[in-house]
């Protein structure tokens, strides 16, 4: 089961991840930064275990600051 790590504190709010993968990402209306839906805050990062990488791979590759990581277990 892959784990997604989102380093939200480094997000620049471009919205690319939410546009490419709205199933897993959305833009927070209060601060304008991306949110990994249903994730848990672990230290500075947000983590989510998923069954299938799905569109997250495309979002990770398109992120201009490289803050979406996919860890395959």
pLDDT value, residue 73: 74
Cα distance between the two ends of the chain: 6
pLDDT value, residue 7: 98
pLDDT in tens, 2-57: 999 999 999 999 999 999 999 999 999 999 999 999 999 999 999 999 999 989 99
Is the CB of residue 67 less than 8 Å from the CB of residue 30? no
- Domains (range + CATH), the chain: 3-71 (3.30.70.20)
pLDDT value, residue 38: 98
């Amino acid at each position: 089961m892959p784990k997604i790590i989102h380093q939200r504190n480094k997000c620049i709010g471009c919205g690319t991840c939410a546009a490419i993968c709205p199933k897993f990402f959305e833009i927070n209306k209060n601060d304008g930064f991306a949110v990994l839906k249903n994730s848990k805050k672990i230290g500075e990062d947000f983590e989510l275990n998923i069954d299938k990488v799905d569109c997250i791979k495309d979002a990770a590759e398109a992120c201009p600051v490289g803050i979406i990581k996919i860890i395959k277990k």
